[in-house]
Structures are given as structure tokens and as C-alpha cells.
Amino acid sequence: MKVTKAVGVLSLLIIAAMSVQDAAALPASSYVDGNGKSWQGYKSYTQDGYDVVLEWAVYNIAANPWAGSVDFSAGDQYVYAYQLFSNTTSTSNIGSFSVLDIGGNPIAQTLMHDTQAVANGQGVMPDPNPSALQGEWEWMPGVGFITAGEYSAYLIFGSAYAPTAGSFTVKAPEESDPGVPNGASEVPEPGILALLGIASAMFAAKRGKKRQAE
């Protein structure tokens, strides 16, 4: 049975840019939000046999590093990218990685498109590639798990929605190994708040028309 333990925000520590992850770091983000925040960073998790670093970055669709080589769905405005690194001190292998919303739930498939992996020259590709599930990447025996000292490929998807704080989970390939439970963090996911904003605007517009008719 998998061991599941609660992990809070403080357990997911931001680490400095001089991390060992720099050897295969994601390209610099091309997206800055309205508050002047650049959506690129790191989180580390060191518990239950894992010593894992997750790097993320968000790009404008027109200035993403894979423009011209990867086709994203029409209407998408952002590209989300992630990369895992398992430090040499890890004793648990990584079998899957998933992007979740802030509540730890799977991202709605309507918010993300073209989940895939991009080779970076040294990362372990998921199997199959792309995953059949949106926002999830799996490593199986045919290609190999992410073991200590290994990087993942660049894990990417497109979305029409700007980033908001989300969550993630990393799981071991064997049921006897512990998994990393969900933890609220600044890991980006497509903003469901954008959908709520659209719904509110539509409701307000209908109320306005009703008042005018009266």
C-alpha cells in the first residue's frame, strides 16, 4: 500500500537558481503577468525517499521555445513547461508526474491541450508519449523510470488560460513505494478563475439587459 502524508506549502521549498537543475534548465520564460511576475521557478521535495526538484516556466504562445517545431491548438495563448530532476540521494523512482489545481484535483481537459514531452538531449522520455491523459506523464519499464541522478524530458502543454497557483503530484512506479501527495504551491496551472470571471461577466450582462427592458 502506498504511504500518503500531508505536505504543506512550507514543505515545497523554493531553491536558488544555482541548483544542480541548471544543467538542463528550461529556457527563460517569455511571460510576465499584470503584476510584473515572471512565471518561472523551482520547487523541491525531500521526503519519503524522494529528493526531487521540479522546475516550471510559462511562455507566451508566440514566443515559446518550441515555436515552429510543436503545433499547439488554435486559440491557445500560453505554453506551460515542467521538468523533474531526481537528485542522486533519491531512493524512490519516479513513475508519473501530474499537474493539478490548487485543490489537488486533475485539471479539466478543456483548459489544456496537446500534453506532450520534448526531448532535451538528456531527459528520460515518458512512455507512452504523449500520455493519454491531459496533464499527466508516465514512465514505464519499456523506457525506464526516472531514477536517482536523472532528468525528465521537458513536459509541456498549451492553454488559452493564464497561470494561477496550482499543485502537482509525483508517484512511484511500484505500489510498495511511497508517493508524493499533493501540496499547494506556486506551481502554475491554467487559471480556472478565468472561467469563473467569464461566467460572472455573462451573468452581469444578462442582468443589465433585463433592467433595461424594465
Per-residue pLDDT 10s for the chain (214 aa) are 333 332 322 222 222 233 334 446 899 999 999 989 889 998 888 888 889 999 999 999 999 999 989 989 999 999 999 999 999 999 988 998 988 888 888 888 889 888 889 988 789 998 876 665 778 898 887 667 999 999 999 999 999 999 998 888 888 876 444 455 555 467 888 875 444 433 334 444 444 444 455 5
Q: How far is residue 100's CA from residue 107's CA, in Å, rounded to a whole number?
A: 6
Within 8 A by CB and 6+ apart from 73, the residues are 113, 114, 158
Decide if 70 is inside a domain. Answer: yes
Domain extent at residue 86: 9-213
Q: How far is residue 133's CA from residue 171's CA, in Å, rounded to a whole number?
A: 15
Domain tally, the chain: 1
Q: Is 22 helix (H, G, I), strand (E, B) or coil?
A: helix
Omega of the bond leading into 190 within 30 degrees of 0 (cis):
no
Burial class of residue 47, CB neighbours in 10 A (0-12, 13-18, 19+): middle
Query: 108-157: per-residue pLDDT in tens?
Result: 888 988 888 998 878 999 887 666 577 889 888 766 799 999 999 999 99
Instruction: Provide the percentage of residues in the chain whose pLDDT is more than 90.
Output: 33
Decide if 30 is inside a domain. Answer: yes
From the list 191, 13, 180, 40, the residue with the least C-alpha distance to 102 is 191
Decide if 1 is inside a domain. Answer: no
Decide if 4 is inside a domain. Answer: no
